[in-house]
């Protein structure tokens, strides 16, 4: 699906609630308003509509991203829940219908199938509150999503400008709240309590835990992919099966690219004599195959679930040899030759030569590992602290100087206690392992690592040119040739990382830092992960840059990096990310709809590469198709770019930092020394290095 068309002066999608608000039959003097609560609710909706109107009518450059964006990562305490461990709760038909109606309209449930909806409804548990009791509290992290069956709730918000919370609205029976908690731990934006209005008694809700929701989605998605891969393994053209010539990861990629279509009884799917380029697999139902000869129709076969037809369309335009008709309701999986070729190349080429040897070679290439560390022998006592460069949730980064050599480095000091408390030990060690494997001029170098009883220390290459985010905010936006330079730097890192099956998963301007010459380097590998086969399921990344499959918990692979590259290129040239909104759920709604506007100032080739990167189906995304990263390099937007000059650092950089020495920290804010982290004796990982 491409970008939704937009003229720039139309409203973004309005909700049913907002649509009812602007009903022309309502009196303009508001004489129909019966209570203060109703008035507050209408004012809140009117303000939301006014904001949408303003953003639709005003240029994007009047809106600015506020400050650096933090990544989110959801690590469940005690590990993720297994589907088998979910406790399902029986409920009445009326309660089930109330829950189903509420979740069917929610963004996060949009790709759920019938069987998933049934299990999700079954996983909701009852919760009852007396008038005035809180369901959720503003500022506290939560992990539950609620649907109201009986009664109503009040929404209260505490603002810095007001000493007391203000009631801003109501949620009535059939409504829901708290959906962001289904994605990750984040402080609740409001307090929601059972209504204290006269006549309101106990409020009965149904709640579902994030862990249960994710376990259900993962279970059914994996089961579907396994079934689709099993179907594909059996597809045979001539004497060659897809299983003979495709690797396991290629079969999974193909399974992810299959589209679904339903046919009613008697519908003709393909007709004899027509030319077609689609091939089909029956997911459920039956298809009757008939052939007409000399005016007589003969029934050849009835195909059931798992059977396929039209497979020769993968080779060339296929003149259909028979007619296939739905017998009863039928659901088909389908794929066209163009998508197959874009992902895996010509099927004719895959069939030719020694198929087993070619398949084995691709498997070996995708699993190759090699360590390229930039180890420098030193101890913590060899380093003097010059200043604090930055502070984060888990520690600080300092500029340090080697006492003997005089060389300066960045020392990342990560609190052991904070790491253990947040279940991030594996992530920290994974970051170290990955950085030791990467050897690329556009990737930050790790020189050493050690620990004491308070911190894990990483000695890193010192980059003094400032974050690309800072330069972008100062400039507002970049010319296309600037954006091309920085995008090429990112593509170069992906070329190295993806060859080792490493997904970066947190691309954004904040994680691109300039060295003292102005060359761009990728930093912060805390969310990077080796994806050896299949998909990974941890929700992580920065909201503006999350790919649809991460939001929907469908499992993701290297292709999330190409989605993020599309967002990055757009943001560099536009000044704002394509799916920008202040409300996170609105951001996710736009991402899942792939709803964005291509500004008229974008060149034709810039618009084209963005559309090809921002493909909703990860299997069809540029970079995740045939040729991998090389397909991005070969795109016409990069025509004429000097890739060799970038590798050799001979190109003229768009931004030239005025760095006077290796101790010049002018691009960093002055920060005081931070209090020492508490002692932690529970975690002492092995940080030894093989020399």
Comparison of pLDDT for 309 and 5, the residue scoring more: 309
pLDDT of residue 18: 52
Q: Could you tell me the CATH number of the domain that includes residue 120? A: 2.60.120.10
> Is pLDDT at 473 greater than 80 in this prediction?
yes
| Mean pLDDT confidence for 40-55 | 65
Q: Are residues 209 and 256 in the same domain?
A: no
pLDDT of residue 52: 60
Instruction: Give a yes or no: residue 252 inside a domain.
Output: yes
Q: Are residues 313 and 347 in the same domain?
A: yes
- Domain stops at, among 215, 245, 277: 215
Question: CA separation (Å) from 597 to 2, 120, 604, 655?
Answer: 10, 34, 14, 28
Does 392 belong to an annotated binding site? yes
Instruction: Give a yes or no: residue 560 inside a domain.
Output: yes
| Mean pLDDT confidence for 481-503 | 96
* pLDDT tens digits, 252-264: 888 988 999 999 9
- Domain stops at, among 366, 394, 425: 366
Q: Which of 339, 373, 506, 561 is catalytic?
A: 506
- Six-digit token string for 400: 């340090």
- Six-digit token string for 199: 């006549």
| Mean pLDDT confidence for 397-405 | 97
Q: Which of 20-34, 156-170, 397-411 shows the highest mean pLDDT?
A: 397-411
The confidence band for 3, taking pLDDT boundaries of 50, 70 and 90, is: very low
Does 395 belong to an annotated binding site? yes
pLDDT of residue 11: 39
The confidence band for 478, taking pLDDT boundaries of 50, 70 and 90, is: very high
Q: Are residues 348 and 199 in the same domain?
A: no
The confidence band for 5, taking pLDDT boundaries of 50, 70 and 90, is: very low
Q: Are residues 391 and 412 in the same domain?
A: yes
Q: Are residues 412 and 545 in the same domain?
A: no
Query: Which residue in the block uniquely carries the two structure tokens 């197959």?
Result: 340
Contact 299, 288 (CB under 8 A): yes
Percent of the chain with pLDDT over 90: 63
Q: Are residues 424 and 313 in the same domain?
A: no
pLDDT of residue 7: 32
Q: Are residues 355 and 374 in the same domain?
A: no
Does 394 belong to an annotated binding site? yes
> Poorest-confidence range of 64-73, 120-129, 181-190, 347-356?
347-356
The confidence band for 31, taking pLDDT boundaries of 50, 70 and 90, is: confident
Q: Could you tell me the CATH number of the domain that includes residue 489? A: 1.10.510.10
Q: Are residues 210 and 157 in the same domain?
A: yes
Does 540 belong to an annotated binding site? no
pLDDT of residue 350: 66
Instruction: Give a yes or no: residue 224 inside a domain.
Output: no
Contact 310, 271 (CB under 8 A): no
State the Cα torsion 472-474-480-483 to the nearest 10°: -30
Q: Which residues, 6+ apart, have CB-to-CB distance to 136 below 8 Å?
A: 142, 144, 146, 177, 178, 188, 190, 191, 192
Q: Are residues 388 and 355 in the same domain?
A: no
> Is pLDDT at 360 greater than 90 in this prediction?
no
Instruction: Give a yes or no: residue 441 inside a domain.
Output: yes
Q: Which residues, 6+ apart, have CB-to-CB distance to 405 below 8 Å?
A: none
Does 412 belong to an annotated binding site? yes
Q: Are residues 585 and 532 in the same domain?
A: yes
Instruction: Give a yes or no: residue 664 inside a domain.
Output: no
Helical (H) or strand (E) element with 387: strand 383-392
> Is pLDDT at 363 greater than 60 in this prediction?
no
| Mean pLDDT confidence for 117-145 | 96
Q: Are residues 348 and 240 in the same domain?
A: yes
pLDDT of residue 544: 96
Does 391 belong to an annotated binding site? yes
Instruction: Give a yes or no: residue 7 inside a domain.
Output: no
Does 396 belong to an annotated binding site? yes
- Domain stops at, among 334, 366, 398: 366
* pLDDT tens digits, 605-639: 999 999 999 999 998 999 998 888 999 999 999 99
Contact 115, 189 (CB under 8 A): no
Coil, strand or helix at 50:
helix
Q: For this structure, is 453 an active site residue?
A: no
What's phi and psi for 185, nearest 5 deg?
-70, 120
Q: What's the 3-state SS for 153-204?
A: EEEEECCCCCCCCEEEEEEECCCEECHHHHCCCCECCCEEEECCCCCCCCEE
| Mean pLDDT confidence for 529-539 | 84
> Is pLDDT at 48 greater than 70 in this prediction?
no
pLDDT of residue 8: 36
Q: Could you tell me the CATH number of the domain that includes residue 455? A: 3.30.200.20
* pLDDT tens digits, 673-690: 889 999 998 899 999 876
Cross-strand bridge partners of residue 207: 125, 146
Angle at 336 between CA 330 and CA 341, to 5 degrees: 150
> Is pLDDT at 134 greater than 80 in this prediction?
yes
> Is pLDDT at 543 greater than 80 in this prediction?
yes
Give the range of the structural domain holding residue 97, as residue numbers without chain letter: 72-215
Instruction: Give a yes or no: residue 195 inside a domain.
Output: yes
As for how many domains the chain has, the answer is: 4
Instruction: Give a yes or no: residue 23 inside a domain.
Output: no
Q: Are residues 432 and 292 in the same domain?
A: no
Give the chain's mean pLDDT.
Answer: 87
> Is pLDDT at 90 greater than 80 in this prediction?
yes
Does 255 belong to an annotated binding site? no
């Amino acid at each position: 699906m491409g970008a939704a068309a937009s003229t720039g002066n139309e409203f973004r999608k309005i909700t049913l609630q907002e649509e009812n608000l602007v009903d022309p039959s309502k009196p303009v003097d508001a004489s129909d308003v019966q209570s203060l609560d109703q008035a507050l609710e209408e004012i809140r909706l009117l303000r939301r509509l006014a904001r949408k109107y303003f953003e639709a009518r005003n240029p994007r450059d009047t809106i600015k991203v506020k400050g650096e964006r933090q990544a989110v990562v959801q690590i469940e305490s005690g590990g993720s829940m297994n589907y088998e461990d979910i406790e399902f709760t029986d409920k009445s038909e009326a309660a089930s219908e109330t829950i189903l109606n509420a979740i069917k309209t929610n963004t996060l449930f949009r790709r759920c199938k019938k069987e998933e909806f049934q299990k999700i409804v079954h996983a909701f548990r009852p919760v009852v509150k007396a008038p005035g009791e809180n369901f959720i509290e503003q500022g506290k992290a939560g992990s539950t999503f609620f649907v109201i069956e009986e009664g109503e709730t009040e929404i209260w918000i505490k603002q810095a400008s007001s000493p007391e919370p203000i009631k801003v609205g109501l949620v009535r029976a059939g409504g829901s709240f708290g959906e962001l908690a289904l994605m990750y731990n984040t402080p609740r934006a409001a307090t929601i309590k059972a209504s204290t209005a006269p006549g309101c008694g106990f409020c009965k809700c149904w709640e579902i835990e994030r862990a249960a929701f994710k376990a259900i989605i993962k279970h059914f998605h994996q089961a579907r992919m396994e079934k689709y891969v099993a179907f594909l393994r059996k597809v045979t053209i001539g004497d060659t099966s897809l299983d003979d010539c495709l690797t396991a990861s290629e079969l999974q990629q193909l399974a992810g690219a299959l589209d679904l279509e339903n046919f009613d009884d008697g519908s003709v799917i393909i007709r004899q004599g027509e030319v077609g380029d689609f091939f089909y697999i029956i997911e459920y139902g039956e298809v009757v195959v008939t052939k007409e000869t000399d005016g007589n129709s003969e029934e050849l076969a009835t195909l059931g679930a798992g059977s396929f037809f039209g497979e020769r369309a993968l080779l060339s335009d296929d003149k259909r040899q028979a007619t296939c008709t739905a017998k009863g309701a039928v659901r088909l999986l389908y794929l066209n030759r163009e998508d197959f070729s874009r992902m895996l190349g010509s099927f004719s080429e895959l069939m030719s030569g020694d198929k087993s040897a070619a398949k084995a070679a691709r498997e070996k290439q995708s699993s190759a590992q090699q360590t390229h560390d930039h180890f420098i022998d030193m101890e913590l006592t060899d380093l003097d602290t010059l200043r604090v460069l930055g502070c984060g949730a888990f520690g600080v980064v300092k500029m340090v100087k080697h006492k003997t050599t005089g060389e300066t480095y960045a020392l990342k000091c990560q609190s052991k206690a904070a790491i253990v408390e947040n279940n991030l030990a594996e992530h920290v060690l994974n970051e170290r392992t990955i950085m030791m494997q990467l050897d690329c001029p556009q990737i930050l170098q790790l020189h050493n690592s050690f620990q004491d009883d308070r911190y894990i220390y990483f000695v890193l290459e010192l980059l003094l040119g400032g974050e690309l985010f800072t330069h972008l905010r100062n400039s507002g936006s970049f010319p296309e040739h600037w954006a091309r330079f920085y995008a090429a730097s990112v593509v170069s890192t992906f070329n190295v990382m993806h060859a080792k099956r490493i997904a970066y998963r947190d691309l954004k301007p904040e994680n691109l830092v300039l060295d003292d010459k102005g060359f761009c380097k990728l930093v912060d590998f805390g969310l990077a992960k080796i994806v050896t086969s299949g998909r990974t399921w941890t929700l992580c990344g920065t909201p503006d840059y999350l790919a649809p499959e991460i939001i929907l918990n469908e499992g993701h692979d290297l292709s999330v990096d190409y989605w993020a590259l599309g967002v990055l290129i757009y943001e560099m040239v536009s000044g704002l990310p394509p799916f920008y909104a202040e409300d996170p759920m609105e951001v996710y709604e736009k991402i899942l709809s792939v709803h964005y506007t291509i500004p008229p100032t974008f060149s034709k080739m810039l618009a084209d590469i963005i559309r090809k990167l921002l493909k909703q189906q990860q299997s069809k995304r540029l970079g995740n198709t045939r040729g991998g990263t090389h397909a991005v390099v070969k795109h016409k937007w990069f025509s004429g770019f000097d890739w060799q000059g970038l590798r050799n650092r001979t190109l003229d950089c768009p931004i030239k930092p005025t760095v006077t020495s290796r101790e010049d920290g002018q691009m960093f804010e002055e920060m005081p020394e931070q209090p020492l982290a508490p002692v932690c004796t529970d975690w002492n990982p092995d940080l030894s290095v093989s020399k």
